[in-house]
Amino acid sequence: DVKVTQSSRYLVKRTGEKVFLECVQDMDHENMFWYRQDPGLGLRLIYFSYDVKMKEKGDIPEGYSVSREKKERFSLILESASTNQTSMYLCASSEHTGTSFSYEQYFGPGTRLTVT
């Protein structure tokens, strides 16, 4: 079974703090994604990565950065947390080998971040 783990299930941070959210997958997937999920807004893509050290902006990258130094690990960084970044953060991974691309995503359990 694919397993995607996230470093924390719940996190409370203060405004202005630097926040690190880590995600690890054990299926050797090439693609990794960070989403945030808010009531009424659905899943919104923040950043994704299709290879080590590669990253692409999603729909809402402002206020966030990412790092992918190893294939299995994708980190989301909030440089200076703000209250409007209070949300559920979901990491996902998917496979991409050669010309075959799988759109099936495997999600972690999520991190509920509260910024006060």
Partner 1 sequence: TQLLEQSPQFLSIQEGENLTVYCNSSSVFSSLQWYRQEPGEGPVLLVTVVTGGEVKKLKRLTFQFGDARKDSSLHITAAQPGDTGLYLCAGASTGGSYIPTFGRGTSLIVHP
- The residues binding partner 1 (CB under 8 A) are 4, 33, 40-43, 45, 48, 58-59, 90, 92, 96, 101, 103-110, 112
Per-residue tokens: 84 = 């409007």
Q: Name the nearest CA neighbour of 43 among 90, 113, 7, 75.
A: 90
Q: Which residue, 36 or 115, is less far from partner 1 as judged by CB?
A: 36
CB of 56 to partner 1, least distance (A): 9
C-alpha span between 111 and 28 (Å, rounded): 22
Q: Which residue, 75 or 111, is less far from partner 1 as judged by CB?
A: 111
C-alpha span between 64 and 28 (Å, rounded): 25
CB of 67 to partner 1, least distance (A): 19
CB of 79 to partner 1, least distance (A): 24
Task: Report helix, strand or coil for 96.
Answer: strand
C-alpha span between 54 and 31 (Å, rounded): 10
Q: Which residue, 73 or 96, is less far from partner 1 as judged by CB?
A: 96
